[in-house]
Structure formats: structure tokens, C-alpha cells
Structure 1
């Protein structure tokens, strides 16, 4: 009976961890069961991402041949499950899935002190890499399913309030101006592009990421904003270096000429 109770407790912990972030789940597991106090926390510097598949609505149809739309939803479930599975990779440990609504996926990083490194911005870097991977993953889905889904991604950074709403089917969510702007970066974006705010650009540009300036756009409720497109990861640090032949040991047979060049 004791073993059964331990297995049940482990199962419940795993189930709760799939609903709430680990640190939030631990809070509820270690709190008085009769405590109905609202759980919330202030997070000073969070990176928020919205990723949507705007043309999924064109794909979804209810026909007898596709089981009244169930097969369409099955493919969407596979896409979302692939996005979820990536978060189990160590490089994306800073990122927490918030929710998926229809064909829109929402995630955030830097929600705890352990994952928010203000100096290195590791959680922002992780989100940038994750967004690029989402785009690649959807291309793979298209290749295997013979579809032409487009992804549109928006990223922003800033303070948020995180909390759990509801006694039954509790929902962990985040709120704040930074969340609204991230959503606008998605909705005002361009298909197959990752649109980021100037604040995100400044962080990623300093880390060597390849970005292009879109210019100034009108954002509902925010006015004019200068935005950028995230195009790719930094080049390998070795790609901008040419070997100095004077520094090469005589035993090495090389014809490379030049000196160490400055990075672009």
C-alpha cells in the first residue's frame, strides 16, 4: 500500500508539472490544501513569444472524408506536440510553455530567478533559438504532410505578472504590457518571419545574431514602433578568422595566407 501511495504521488506530481511550471507546482504541493489565496509573482525581465499558423484556418474543413475535421485537428495536435517536445531539450530549459489557443502557441522564458540571467540574457538567447527551430520544424511538417503551413512569430521582453487563475482546471498565465506587445509582434508580422522589438534586437544583435530592420510600423494601442526580423543564428567564431602562416608550425602543410581579420 505504501508503494502504491508513492507511485500515485509521483504520478500526481508529474501530472501537475504538465499543467503548471515546476516551481509553481511545488508551491501548491507544499501549501495548505485549504489555502485559497491567489498565487501570483512579479517577474522583472521575461521574454515572451507568440507563434501562430495563420493559414491553418484555410486548411481546416469539416468533411466526411476527414472525419468531420478530426484529421485536421490531428495534424495540428502533432505540430503542437512537436513544439512541446523541443522544450524537453536542455538548451531550452529556460523556456516555459504558457498555452496554445487554436493555432497560436505562447511561451515565455525568465519566469524564475534561476532561469533569468540579466547579464548574459541566456533566456532571451534560448527563446531566439527556439523560435528559429519552430520555423524549421514546421518546414519539416510541410515536407512530410505535403502542406504549405506558414508560421508567424513575435517576440518581446519586459516585466510581467504571472499567476494561477481558477480552482478547477487551474490556468497558469502571464499578464502585462510586455505580453500585449509580444502578441502584436505576431499579429502585425509577416508569414515565415520572426518579428522582434527594438529591445530584443539590441540583445540579440550584441550576441551576433543576424537581424534586419523592418522599419517603423503602426501597432494598435502602442503607436509607431521600430521592429526587426530575426533571420538567423550567429556565425561560427571561426568563420571570420584567417590563419597567419607565421603562426603555423612548419610540420603543418598549409597554403592559407593572410592575418587574423576583424569580425564583421
Structure 2
């Protein structure tokens, strides 16, 4: 005889058992999800911090490199010319030049340096001679960087000859008072005094000849890979001749320069040196 049997149970009992089992599981999963989420948020925050730190460091390095490049450019070019070349809208093939109506030009040369320079084993094949020359030029550079000579600009050195000028831009050209002209004359006398000081402390007898002239020049930059700032014109040529035909330990000026500084500043003592024929280079 067969019978159909059924298991009887209370629905309340099943629900109660299920909740007892599922609640800890759900809580565990929830806590684990919160933990994983917190880990992910922390990892993202760490990566974000590292990326920002790296970006900041790269930006600072780029700014330092740009500042270094600007300093290098300012060392070889006047500030206003350097600003022209740093301008973003400038074309690479654009020629920079400027006509200047009244510029004071100076050439100062150590006339007997070639006699001092010898290549011997005792002076490291002439290196020590060049070292002393470098120290002299560095002294001249330090003087020209003084605030009182802010109107002056070093142009270049040619061997043992130092070339400088004043009044090359609107900020240094004194059209009314012509102070840029007298500033260069004062600088020339400072160089002569500095040369005496160097001779006393290095036990040498360097002789310096200095030539000055004023007039119009053309200033510009030539060269692409190695830009060189320079000035051209008859004013420059005559200033060079004032130097080469001058007398050691004296400053020779052209007549127009003499009348300009004599009318403004009587403390410059000037001695007539006669008429000279200046041959063109």
C-alpha cells in the first residue's frame, strides 16, 4: 500500500533561519566592499599626489631652465635686445638692428700685453698669462656693472682690448643732459686707475691706451647659432683709431667728444694732442 507523504514546516522558522545566516554574510560583504573602496580611493589619491608632485617638479625644472637660458642670453646681449629675441612672435629669420644717433664708444687696450704673453713651461705654456688677463677683464666687467654705469654696455673683448659703449637705447640715451657721454669718460678713468692697482699688486707694468668718440652707429645682432651683438659705423672706427694712435696711460678723445664733456663737466682735465691723420681700416 502506498501513501503520499509531505514534510510540514513553519514558514516563520525558515525565514528566521535564513536571516540568521544571511545577515553576517551581508555585513561581511558590505564591510569588504567598503574596505576595497577605501583602498581604491587611497590608491587613487596617492597616484594623484605623485602625478601632481611630478608635474610641479617638472614645471619648476622648466622654469629654472628658462631662467638660466635668459641669464645666458642677458650675458651676451643687452637686456632690451634679449627681450626682443625672447618674444614669442619673433620670426627666426628676422634681423635685429637699430640706428642710434648719439652713442659714446670706448676702446681700452693693454698695449704691451703681447710683450707680457710668453709660452713657457714655467707659466703652463701661456695659460697663466691668460689667467691674469681674464682677471683683469673680470675687474672691468665688475666696474661696468655698478649702478652709476647703468648707461654703459660692454660690447666685446678683442684679445686684450675692451670695447664698451653708452646711449644705445632709449633707457640709456640722455638726449638733453648727455650724461651717458660723461659716464663713459668717467668709466675710462676708472679703468686707468684699476690698471694702476693691478700693476701694484701683480708686480707688472701694463700700459693702457684708451680711445673715445661719439656719433651715430648701427647696432645689431649677427649670427644664428651664436648670436653676436655689435655696433658699426665711422664713429666706431674713429674710436678704435683714438685707441691705437694714443699714448700709454692716457685717454685720447676726438675733438667733438672733448667739447661735449668740457662744456658740461669742467673737472675733466684735457690736454691738446695735435692733429692726426686717421687711416681707415
Task: Name the TM-score, length of structure 1 as normaliser.
Answer: 0.82
1:127 aligns with 2:184: yes
Paired position in structure 1 for 2:198:
141
- Residue 170 (1) aligns with residue 231 (2): no
Structure 2 contact 107–161 (Cα < 8 Å) conserved: yes
Tell me the SS of whatever aligns to 2:225: coil
Q: Does 1:47 align with 2:75?
A: no
Alignment coverage as a number of residue pairs = 222
| Structure 1 stretches of at least 4 aligned residues deviating more than 2 Å after TM superposition | 31-35
CA–CA separation in structure 1 for the residues paired with 2:92 and 2:121: 49
> Which residue matches 1:214?
273
What is the CA-CA distance between 1:88 and the residue it aligns to?
Answer: 1.2
Q: Matched residues in 2 for 1:34 and 1:71: separation?
A: 44
Higher percent of residues as helix:
2
Q: How is 1:86-235 mapped onto 2 (pairs within 5 angstroms)? A: 86-206=143-263, 207-208=265-266, 209-221=268-280
For 1:171 and 1:10, the matched residues in 2 are separated by 20
> 1:179-233 CA deviation, whole Å, 9 max, x = no partner?
00000000110000000011110111112122111121121149xxxxxxxxxxx
Instruction: Name the CA distance, whole Å, in 2 between partners of 1:218 and 1:35.
Output: 43
Whether contact under 8 Å (2:237, 2:280) holds in the other structure is no
Runs of 5+ consecutive residues of structure 1 not aligned to the other structure = 223-264
Name the SS for the 2:67 alignment partner.
helix
Match of 2:136 in 1: 79
CA contact (8 A) 2:84 2:90 kept: no
Across the aligned residues of Structure 1 and Structure 2, the Cα RMSD in angstroms comes to 1.2
Question: How far did 1:32 drift?
Answer: 3.8
Q: Which residue does the alignment assign to 2:29?
A: none
1:226 is aligned to none
Deviation of 1:33 (Å): 6.0
1:47-68 C-alpha deviation (Å, 9 max, x unpaired): 0000000100000000000000
How far residue 131 of structure 1 moved from its aligned partner, in angstroms, is: 0.1
What TM-score comes out, normalization by structure 2 length? Answer: 0.77
Rg comparison, structure with higher value: 2
Matches within 5 A, 1:1-80: 1-32=58-89, 34-80=91-137
